[in-house]
Structure formats: C-alpha cells, structure tokens
Amino acid sequence: MHRTISEDPDTACFDVRGLRRTYGKGPAAVEALRGVDLQIPERELVVILGASGSGKSTFLNIIGGLDQATAGEVLFRGSDLSGASSAELTEYRRRHVGFVFQFYNLMPSLTAWENVALITEIAEAPLAPADALALVGLGDRMDHFPAQLSGGEQQRVAIARAVAKQPTVMLCDEPTGALDSATGVKVLEALVDVNHSIGATTLIITHNASVAEIADRVVVFADGKVRETRVNAAPISPRNITW
C-alpha cells in the first residue's frame, strides 16, 4: 500500500473501482459484490440502503480494512488499500477508522468512561474519554456500567469509543437496528453531531429507508451492485424523520 495519504480536500475520501468480493469457489461460490464503482467525498454523512444480502455490509467491511476484495480497487484519500498487507490494514484501522456496530461490544465490567478509555490508549491524538462521552450526551453517565445503561445509551458509549480516537472515517453497520424508534433517533442525532463536530466522513448502513433523509448522500445497494446514488439537497434532523 502506498503510505502517503493525501490531505487535498478535492480528493475523494473513498474512490472505489470495479470492486468484487466472492466467497467460496466453484458452484458454491457466492458473489457478494459484483463490480461496485463509487466515490464518497470527504466529510459527508452517507446512508447506505439495501436489503439483507445486497452487499452493503461486505462493502463496509472492505473499505474499513476488515476484509479484502477479490478484485477491483479501494482508494482511501488516493492511497490504494487493495493490495495492503494485514499489518498495513491494521495500521489503517488504528489511525483512521472508527467502527460502530449493531451490537455494542462493551466490556461489562468497565464503566462507560473506562470503555472509552480503552481506545484512547492506542490512538495517536485521542479525545479525553469525558469529552467523547459529552459529545454524545453522556457526560453525566460516565461512571455507569453497561448494565446500568439503556440500549441507546450503550450504543452512544460505543459511538463515543469510536469518536475518541478522532477518526477520519466513521463506519456504522445498522447502529439503530436493535433499538426502538425514539432511542434510534437519539443515536442518529449523536452520529450527526459527531459528523459535524469532528468532520469524520460517516457511513451508516441501514435497511430503514427513512434514515436516508438525514444524509448528505444516499447509496442504494441491490444484488451486490450500486443501484442508485443520490444527493440530498436539504438533509433533515433525525428528530424529524418518520420512523
């Protein structure tokens, strides 16, 4: 992988070309991605829509450095991730990517503050855990354990943990999938605030089409391909979406 990372604001955060991912071989092979071409500009909040099996999570895993493509290119700020070694992908994830998943993956024996502090120990220029938690509206819940928090609060701790290393990119896979609508709105508000506050390019995978209204850009996946890309001229606040 080329080690130089462009800081040119005119360079796309991600430039994906002919991306393919096949699992297995022969008659049992499954084509999860079938030639994806997509550009994602810096600092945008992008919602990726698609049914289960459409390829959206596979796409997120590849651009996040958790999986590698069978063919095609993934350029991150002009640097090719496609041929990166395992060590280079680990460094890429450590320096640049914050992950938020549907399930919170918090350490149950640690407080909210301690869960966030875990990531700050490996980050280059982290936020203080208290600042990261305040950013997602949990400044008064820092000393609570996960079992003492609601599902939405636990997800916001997970967001604070991802934000604490001040990533270039936030990748969120169904972050509201396990939450009711009112709680989901609070989580989406936290993600929008993070996108605006630290300027991280933010991708949110969801099957909920209503969430698309908060995005700068909407990408629709179907059958392993990008079926549609559209730009929202006027994204709305999460509290105004119809769940």
pLDDT in tens, 72-84: 999 999 999 988 9
Q: What is the pLDDT of residue 7?
A: 45
pTM score, whole prediction: 0.90
In the predicted structure, residue 43 carries a pLDDT above the cut 80: yes
Candidate from 42-46, 92-96, 179-183, 219-223 with smallest mean pLDDT: 179-183
What average pLDDT does the segment 192-199 reach? 93
What average pLDDT does the segment 146-162 reach? 95
Q: What is the pLDDT of residue 83?
A: 86
Contact 178, 208 (CB under 8 A): no
What average pLDDT does the segment 86-114 reach? 94
In the predicted structure, residue 218 carries a pLDDT above the cut 70: yes
Q: Which two tokens stand for residue 51?
A: 């049914």
Which helix (H) or strand (E) covers residue 16, if one does? strand 14-23
Domain spans in the chain, listed from the N-terminal domain onward: 42-67+85-240
Q: What is the largest CA-CA distance in the chain?
A: 55
Q: Produce one character per residue of 216-237: b if its CB has 16 or more CB atoms within 10 Å, e if not.
A: bbbbbbeebbbeeeeeeeebee
Q: What is the pLDDT of residue 190?
A: 93
Closest of 156, 6, 137, 154 to residue 79, by C-alpha? 6
Reported confidence tier of residue 3, pLDDT bands at 50, 70, 90? very low
pLDDT per residue over 48-65, tens digit each?
999 999 999 999 999 999
**Structural domain 42-67+85-240, CATH architecture:** 3-Layer(aba) Sandwich (3.40)
